[in-house]
Structure 1
Amino acid sequence: MKKIMEDPSKIMRRSIHTFLQNYHRATTAAAVVLPFSAALLLSQPFFSSSSSSLHARLNTLFRGAGFSSSLDFFNILSLKLSQTLSSSLFTLPFSLTFFLFSKAYVIRLLSNKHDSEDSSVYYLRLLRTYICNSFFLISANASAFALFFLAFNVLESFGFYSRNFYTLFSLSSAIIYSIILANAFVISNLALVSSTSSSSGGYTTILKACLLIRGRTSTALALALPTNLGLAGVEALFRYRVVKSYYQGDRDIVSIALEGTFIAYLYALFLVLDTIVNFLFYQSCVKNDEDQKLCREDEYSIKIQICETENTKICIKGPKGFQEIL
């Protein structure tokens, strides 16, 4: 049976309505996640210039794997990976505390059973799932690199050495890597919001998210696009208004710090909205699966049979076998 998903625009509108309806609590959640958003925004420009050592090591790793220096994609990828890894390690204490506390607060608020379980239970399940998500994302990246390594060496063994080949391979690798990474992030986000409804969280929620996402990938990506564009816009605003002003020295440090705090709080609000969007998407997936299950039960448990006896009779197959109704 084909999965009929709710329109992404309806889920997004419902998410924004939920966010505005609970704005006073959403601002509380944003205040909780503010240290994480501030650390993340500060780490990105800082590690853009100070991750050269890790960048050099990743370049060496790619060269050792057999990738040519003419592949611009892997040169750019090694730079972005070094910055991402450095930033992730720097913000890890904030991710495991403030970020997950905020998610637990928002999910407990949106859940129908938020009065029955303590927030600490939600946090522990989110923590287990977050750690498993980290290994899952590392595995997704490793699988993508293994695929590129295999494809590059096979094609090179057939005599593809031209500059046009390197350009085409870089473009195709960038597209495939983006698809793999986008799906991995969607599954990770869905696993996080679904972990609170499981018994303990962890790798089982990732498997559950993989099953839920089947046939709904386009919807999940369409929902992830607006919030990620908003987060990217806030990051660009922080670089332009705070980082640029700090290095140019055209404003005093107090005004830069105040504006940076405001931008970090705006980033935190987008993180809260992203949690709401993912949670409502998860609820929509579960409701859709439950509706399909009921439809299948109705389809196969109730069958009409015409009993050919002296008089034509109609029977219904129920729990006690065929029962005559006419």
Structure 2
Amino acid sequence: MKKTMEDPSKIMRRSIHTFLQNYHRVTTAAAVALPFSAGLLLSQPFFSSSSSILHMRLNMLFRGAGFSSSHNFFNILSLKLSQTLSSSLFTLPFSLTFLLLSKAYVIKLLSNNHSADSSVFYLRLLKTYVCNFFFLLSANASAFALFFLAYNILEAFGFSSRNFYTFLSVSSPIIYSIIIANAFVISNLALVSSPSSSSGGYTNILKACLLIHGRSSTALAIALPTNLGLAGVEALFQYRVLRSYYKGDRDITSIALEGTFIAYLYALFLVLDSIVNFLFYQSCIKNEEDQKIGREDEYSIKIQISETENTKIHIKGSKNLQEIL
């Protein structure tokens, strides 16, 4: 049976409606996530030295794996990965505490399970979050292995012209973005589904992989607006806070106040992202249940038709037997 999902625009409208309907509680969740968002925004510019060291190490790793330094894609990728790793390591204590506590609060609010123990929600989220970290590492490693095989096989067959490198520079970021985007969608879906399961961890990731099958386009469509919002807030922080700090055209108090406000805005987008992922998870579950009911109804109809046909055959056989007698 074909999987029919709810329209992404409807999920986004329901998410925004839920966000505004519970705004007084959402602000509490955003306040809990504020240390994480502030640490994440501050970590990007102030860890450039450590990211440059990681950038050099990753470039050496790519060259050792057989990737040519003339591939601009891998230079850009190693720079982005080094910045992401440096920022993630710095914000790891905040993400394991404030971010997960905020998500646990939002999921408990939306699931209407107010009697459940909050510590159980948090522990399941923590276990799944750690497993998601290794899952994302595996997704990156799989992408690199795929590129390594593709580049070396194609070069072995003589595809080493300038047009070939141009084609690889264009196609590789697209393929890598699709792989990582799907990995992030699966990890987010596993995270919001962990409190409803008996235990978090890799079982939730496997469950998310099954739920996302045939629905990846919908998942990517609903993930795009919140990620664009988060990227916009990061750009706003760079322009309004860091630019003013380095230029020195404003006093430090006003910069700190505006930076706090922008960090809180970032936290609100994180809460909205949790709401979107949770409602998408509920939509997937509802769709699976509807399909199960549809299959059961179809099976029962087939049984009824079969029983009706058997009854007709039995009646016809009885009539023929009476005529013979």
> Which one-letter code corresponds to 1:142 in the other structure?
A
> Is structure 2 residue 68 aligned with structure 1 residue 61?
no
Note the C-alpha offset of 1:301.
2.5
> Which one-letter code corresponds to 2:57 in the other structure?
R
Q: Encode CA deviations 1:205-253: one digit per residue, 9 max, x unaligned.
A: 0000000001111110010000000000000000000000000000000
> 2: CA distance between counterparts of 1:300 and 1:130?
40
Note the C-alpha offset of 1:160.
2.1
List aligned pairs for 1:309-324, cutoff 5 A: 309-310=314-315
Q: Encode CA deviations 1:173-229: one digit per residue, 9 max, x unaligned.
A: 111000000000000000000011111110000000000001111110010000000
Secondary structure, counterpart of 2:196 in structure 1:
coil
> 2: CA distance between counterparts of 1:282 and 1:103?
14
Q: Encode CA deviations 1:38-83: one digit per residue, 9 max, x unaligned.
A: 0000011222454111110000000000111110000000000000
Q: Which residue of 2 aligns with 1:227?
A: 226
Note the C-alpha offset of 1:312.
10
Can you give the 5+ residue segments of structure 1 that lack an aligned partner in the other structure? 314-326
> Which one-letter code corresponds to 2:90 in the other structure?
F
Q: Encode CA deviations 1:280-308: one digit per residue, 9 max, x unaligned.
A: 00000000100110111111134222323
Q: Assess, with a 3 A threshold, how the Cα gap between structure 1 residues 310 and 179 changes in structure 2: closer, same or farther.
A: closer
Identity of aligned residues (%): 83
Q: Which residue of 2 aligns with 1:29?
A: 29
> Which one-letter code corresponds to 2:39 in the other structure?
A
Greater strand content: 1
> 1: CA distance between counterparts of 2:92 and 2:201?
18
Q: Which residue of 1 aligns with 2:79?
A: 79
Note the C-alpha offset of 1:311.
6.8
> 2: CA distance between counterparts of 1:50 and 1:293?
52
List aligned pairs for 1:1-326, cutoff 5 A: 1-112=1-112, 114-302=113-301, 303-304=304-305, 305-306=308-309, 307=311, 308-310=313-315
> 1: CA distance between counterparts of 2:48 and 2:221?
29
> 1: CA distance between counterparts of 2:53 and 2:87?
14
Aligned length: 312
Q: TM-score normalised to the size of structure 1?
A: 0.93
Secondary structure, counterpart of 2:9 in structure 1:
helix
Q: Assess, with a 3 A threshold, how the Cα gap between structure 1 residues 299 and 51 changes in structure 2: closer, same or farther.
A: same
> 1: CA distance between counterparts of 2:56 and 2:276?
38
Secondary structure, counterpart of 1:196 in structure 2:
helix
> Which one-letter code corresponds to 1:78 in the other structure?
S
Note the C-alpha offset of 1:99.
0.2
> 2: CA distance between counterparts of 1:206 and 1:116?
26
> 1: CA distance between counterparts of 2:287 and 2:27?
31
> Which one-letter code corresponds to 1:76 in the other structure?
I
> 1: CA distance between counterparts of 2:296 and 2:59?
56
Q: Which residue of 1 aligns with 2:322?
A: none
> Which one-letter code corresponds to 1:8 in the other structure?
P
> Which one-letter code corresponds to 2:115 in the other structure?
S
Q: Encode CA deviations 1:254-302: one digit per residue, 9 max, x unaligned.
A: 0000000000000000000000000000000000100110111111134
> 1: CA distance between counterparts of 2:38 and 2:71?
35
Note the C-alpha offset of 1:167.
1.8
